[in-house]
Structure 1
């Protein structure tokens, strides 16, 4: 979903007074009715008032989520440094993750079952330089944009979370993320390299590189900002994640259209239809169905187009 606004508090304002796009997003979520959903591009506030208002709006459409979860994202988090090498400070590009204010375009989880908040791992503070074999950008052999910038820049553009959900059959761990776009930079390929390493991160995490990691009943899910076969970017990152033997890449299909695996329509990008969002269950799950919610005609098609350029990727899992 795309529920980010241009200033702090504006999402809550829009939800309070009524907003066609937010209303459409709530209706689409209620129509798909996932038991657990990871929301992207949702502005964060400390008391989760905007998220609570969104949850209430979804409830008005007939779907109730007793549990909600979000943490402060890296988006808009000031660094005080020139992070993109343009010689200017205090721009959205100079935050830990692109954002005009702290919390802009964060992530959130809504769930039918409670989140084990005491066991959550917030891995968003990991510095990019501390990634094994980090592809840090350089220009003429020097760190780009500066050594000082690389000393503080976090790997995650938005967040990396490991979130246990307490399902009645036992905990399910959500490995949630939102990666950087691999474009909007220069020949140093800063964003492309960061996107690659953000996707590679989960393979290192599952190896135990950053501490204890689940070995069963986990799901890697998020917005990769990267299609494994189409568009720009360093494809090794997304292809490595999708082919990891611990994960199931279901390549969910929609009913019609080319390409059939697309999860987004970016009208100003070529190609405009790409697969950039993923739900990847661990190998021990039995998958009964999967897909992308993308009605092609009629009122439902108009509704989802109003809600977001992105479409909901869903997976049905059998619980033992």
Structure 2
């Protein structure tokens, strides 16, 4: 009964009282171009159906999707939006830029003697990108894309001789996208999806890149005038501040930065799925990775961090306990769980 009431509450539109901002690592990626569109249009793919159910339950006003395949005309994203509208979650405004994942260069970017590597790992150009679905109009003409920044050009970057001048910092992308607020003005979305800090053959290269992809936001906040306020940093940092592998210094600095606030979204499902060896609070976890020797277990990697001047009303992670409403859909949709934060409209 309580779980059903909670699900109904999550589905309520809160336009007058609050603004819900969310991020979701939706795992909407396939092994080749066009296959995601095929699966969305078929109406028979259980993972797509589960993703639609989770997003429809969250009823976010602005949603950043990570891990979603990109196509030039946003055909797959439009098809997903049509499915969501049919499920009672209309998103008339959409935004996406091509990701660095799968973007072939013809160069040897990591110094391993094999040319032709992509700027970020991806099975094809456009794989595992990002996209914004919004009920608020998007000021696309004012969006800024930092995705072409060379890794070496980031002040204080943890590069070494294995990083060439052609290597971009962003594995997927770094965007600053304004949306129009209901009462006027703009809210700037600072979106990113970093590389996992592993899978680099023990060189530490991915750990350094992951660190610096988060550090870019610190440089932006602390450099000159910083991003326009109000703003929200959101996406998949692919690093737990307490558990798992990686270099957590930049993440610790971001979560504690005085220009930001960490609402610490929580869930009962995450708390109940705790990994005994982990140090962090399991209620804050946002991804259900494999357990066991050499596996990371559950981690907090998906973040929504509002700027300090915004008033946070509530926050949560859609990770219901086993047997509760939406538990099966959340597990079938993705390894990640949708993270949401309710803000008082500025």
Structure 2 length as normaliser, TM-score?
0.85
- Match in the other structure for 1:227: 240
Shift of 1:166: 0.7
Query: Is 1:173–2:196 an aligned residue pair?
Result: no
Matches within 5 A, 1:37-116: 37-90=63-116, 94-116=117-139
**Higher mean displacement: 38-47 or 247-256:** 247-256
Shift of 1:179: 0.6
- Match in the other structure for 2:308: 283
- Match in the other structure for 2:260: 247
Which deviations, in whole Å up to 9, do the C-alpha atoms of 1:101-153 show, x marking residues without a partner? 1110000000001110111000101000000011013xxxxx11xxxx61100
Which deviations, in whole Å up to 9, do the C-alpha atoms of 1:160-198 show, x marking residues without a partner? 000000112221000000011000113431100000111
> For residues 55 and 130 of structure 1, what CA distance do their matches in structure 2 show?
37
- Match in the other structure for 1:194: 209
Which contiguous aligned blocks of 4+ residues in structure 1 show a shift greater than 4 angstroms? none
- Match in the other structure for 2:47: 21
**Do 1:12 and 1:49's aligned partners in 2 also have CA atoms closer than 8 Å?**
yes
Shift of 1:85: 4.2
> For residues 66 and 165 of structure 2, what CA distance do their matches in structure 1 show?
28
Query: Is 1:7–2:22 an aligned residue pair?
Result: no
Unaligned runs of 5+ in 2: 1-25, 275-281
Query: Is 1:128–2:151 an aligned residue pair?
Result: yes
**Higher mean displacement: 290-299 or 168-177:** 290-299
**Higher mean displacement: 94-103 or 158-167:** 94-103
> For residues 228 and 92 of structure 2, what CA distance do their matches in structure 1 show?
27
Q: Secondary structure of the equivalent of 2:326? A: helix
Q: Secondary structure of the equivalent of 2:198? A: coil
- Match in the other structure for 1:214: 227
Unaligned runs of 5+ in 1: 138-142
Query: Is 1:273–2:287 an aligned residue pair?
Result: no
> For residues 220 and 282 of structure 1, what CA distance do their matches in structure 2 show?
8
**Do 1:206 and 1:215's aligned partners in 2 also have CA atoms closer than 8 Å?**
no
- Match in the other structure for 1:154: 168
Q: Secondary structure of the equivalent of 2:211? A: helix
Q: Secondary structure of the equivalent of 2:295? A: coil
Shift of 1:206: 1.6
Query: Is 1:310–2:333 an aligned residue pair?
Result: no
> For residues 289 and 27 of structure 1, what CA distance do their matches in structure 2 show?
21
Structure 1 length as normaliser, TM-score?
0.92
> For residues 271 and 46 of structure 1, what CA distance do their matches in structure 2 show?
34
Cα RMSD, aligned residues only: 1.4
Query: Taking CA–CA contacts closer than 8 Å with sequence separation of 6 or more, which of the two structures ends up with the larger relative contact order?
Result: 2
**Do 1:249 and 1:280's aligned partners in 2 also have CA atoms closer than 8 Å?**
yes
Q: Secondary structure of the equivalent of 1:151? A: coil
> For residues 253 and 63 of structure 1, what CA distance do their matches in structure 2 show?
23
> For residues 107 and 228 of structure 2, what CA distance do their matches in structure 1 show?
39
Q: Secondary structure of the equivalent of 2:219? A: helix
